Amino acid sequence: MSLRTETGPYFGDFGGRFVPESLIAALDELDEAWQLAKLDPAFHDELDGLLRDYVGRPSPLTEVRRFAEHAGGARVFLKREDLNHTGSHKINNVLGQALLTKRVGKTRVIAETGAGQHGVATATAAALFGLECVIYMGEVDTERQALNVARMRLLGAEVIPVTHGSRTLKDAINEAMRDWVTNVGHTNYIFGTVAGPHPFPAMVRDLQKVIGEEARAQMLERTGTLPTAVAACVGGGSNAIGIFHAFLDDADVALYGFEAGGEGVDTERHAATIGKGRPGVLHGARSYLLQDEDGQTIESHSISAGLDYPGVGPEHSWLADVGRARYRASTDAAAMDALRLLSRTEGIIPAIESAHALAGALELGRELGPEASILVNLSGRGDKDMETAAKWFELIDGEEGA
């Protein structure tokens, strides 16, 4: 049975629509527009044209030999989503949803953002299509990703720092939902990951699966065979599902998602949702969730703003439950080491989010041995993270740290 044909609203026991009734009509409208767009060659022509001429797809596949020396001798290949316009995989999804916004005749878009990459991508598309744009971002994240705040503002978006709750991605989503409930008549919510109520998990997956489709063909062309394993970081899970999806029915290809282990999954400071959470309802879907006994969401922690989220997309919860994908965690320290290693061995500075997948690949390589080949989704570039990295490695005033 194919695992690639799931269309939602449910993925096994996960997914659905747990939202105020006020949003159901908008979700239905979006779902309908998406179903029609999927069947419309004109939509695909327009989207494919943008992905090619504006984003720069297909993104390259880069073999990283010097980095791989640290990965037990396995071959390591990076899918270069960092080279996309705006610097991450987020733009793939946003352009699709921005085209959809035009199709449903709305003039204003809103989005949540953690690392700022989805916000930058949304602000970019809004500029391109002449849409009014408001981005909600947790106050903590506006501080650690200040460069991206400036980028969004330069692109003409309004950035609203969210000061409630944990002041990170989860609260930005709450605030964006409140805006949407209020302004749904003329506003479309461009959701940034494969979480949220139906149709977002399936729609965002469909818009990101191009990553894996390209990478699968590139691996076959480059190596004559499929990779032993595919590795991606998991926040909400869009870059991971994007690269996994084409491989779901290739039973011999192992799929690994790397969640943010923060200060360690046995501490209270991590974002290992699948690893340490249990099923519950958050942000419109049933999925794994970090929560206390009463079902109150527990604040997550990660050095990476884009992975600092106590929920995860429902399709990942399902893939974990059926055993098709495995989910592990990379700690802050392991991710930062991998970030520096890739920078020094290959001249590629990855996003801290993506560095979690790189740390995972180092571990997998040592386990799988020199015969293995590992495909890593390099979901974004690290420019936005220079301040965090500079602090971590003490790069600015004096000697480098540990």
Partner 1 sequence: MSVGETIDARVAAGTGALVGYLPVGFPSLGASVDAAVALVENGVDALELGIPYSDPVMDGPVIQDATQAALANGFRLAHGFEAVRAIRAQVDAPVLMMTYWNPVVQYGVDRFADDLAAAGGAGLITPDLVPDEGDAWLAASDRTGLDRVFLAAPSSSDARLALTVEASRGFVYAVSTMGITGARADVDRAARELVERLRTAGSPRSCVGVGISTAEQVREVVSYADGAIVGSALVKALADGGVEGVAALAAELARGTRPTG
Give whichever of 235 and 368 is closer to ligand PLP, judged by the CB atom.
235
- DSSP-assigned letter for residue 157: -
Give whichever of 349 and 372 is closer to ligand PLP, judged by the CB atom.
349
Question: Which residue, among 278, 224, 226, has the nearest Cα to 248 in the 3D structure?
Answer: 226
Residue type, 392: W
What SS3 class is residue 278?
A: strand
* Helix intervals (H) in 256-305: 273-276
Contact residues for 60 (Cβ-Cβ < 8 A; gap 6+): 80, 83
Asked if 118 is part of the footprint of ligand PLP (rule: CB under 6 A), the reply reads: yes
In angstroms, what is the minimal distance from the CB of 363 to partner 1? 33
Distance (Å, rounded) from C-alpha 312 to C-alpha 319? 12
Whole-Å CA distances, 188 to 141, 184, 274, 358: 23, 7, 29, 34
Asked if 75 is part of the footprint of partner 1 (rule: CB under 8 A), the reply reads: no
Asked if 260 is part of the footprint of ligand PLP (rule: CB under 6 A), the reply reads: no
* Phi-psi group of 234: left, alpha or beta (phi > 0 → left; psi -120 to 50 → alpha; rest → beta): beta
Output the CA angle 130-135-136, nearest 5 degrees: 165
Give whichever of 227 and 257 is closer to ligand PLP, judged by the CB atom.
257
Output the CA angle 354-267-146, nearest 5 degrees: 40
Asked if 97 is part of the footprint of ligand PLP (rule: CB under 6 A), the reply reads: no
Asked if 236 is part of the footprint of ligand PLP (rule: CB under 6 A), the reply reads: yes
Ramachandran angles phi, psi of 62, nearest 5° = -115, 125
Distance (Å, rounded) from C-alpha 189 to C-alpha 120? 15
Other beta carbons within 10 angstroms of residue 250's beta carbon come to 13
In angstroms, what is the minimal distance from the CB of 278 to partner 1? 8
Specify whether 102 is catalytic: no
Q: Among all chains, which residue has been given the structure tokens 């096994």?
A: 12
Specify whether 214 is catalytic: no
Other beta carbons within 10 angstroms of residue 267's beta carbon come to 11
Lay out the site mask for ligand PLP across 156-195 (x = CB under 6 A, - = otherwise).
-------------------------------------x--
Q: Among all chains, which residue has been given the structure tokens 């352009």?
A: 95
**From partner 1, ligand PLP, none, interface partner of 235 (C-beta below 5 to 8 A by class):** ligand PLP
Question: Which of 197, 235, 262, 284 touches ligand PLP (CB under 6 A)?
Answer: 235
In angstroms, what is the minimal distance from the CB of 105 to ligand PLP? 28
**From ligand PLP, partner 1, none, interface partner of 20 (C-beta below 5 to 8 A by class):** partner 1
Ramachandran angles phi, psi of 371, nearest 5° = -80, -15
Give whichever of 230 and 372 is closer to ligand PLP, judged by the CB atom.
230
Residue 232's H or E segment, with its range, is strand 229-233
Q: Which stretch binds partner 1 (CB under 8 A): 149-157, 178-186, 217-225, 237-245?
A: 178-186
Residues 278-337 that bind partner 1 (CB under 8 A): 280-284, 289, 291, 293-297
Question: Which of 110, 155, 233, 342 touches ligand PLP (CB under 6 A)?
Answer: 233
Asked if 265 is part of the footprint of partner 1 (rule: CB under 8 A), the reply reads: no
- Which residue in the list 112, 315, 346, 363 is annotated as catalytic? 112
What does the binding site for partner 1 look like in residue numbers (CB under 8 A)?
16-22, 24-26, 28, 164-165, 170-171, 174, 177-178, 181-185, 280-284, 289, 291, 293-297
What does the binding site for ligand PLP look like in residue numbers (CB under 6 A)?
88, 114-115, 117-118, 193, 233-240, 306-307, 351, 353-354, 379-380
Q: Which residues are catalytic?
A: 90, 112, 379
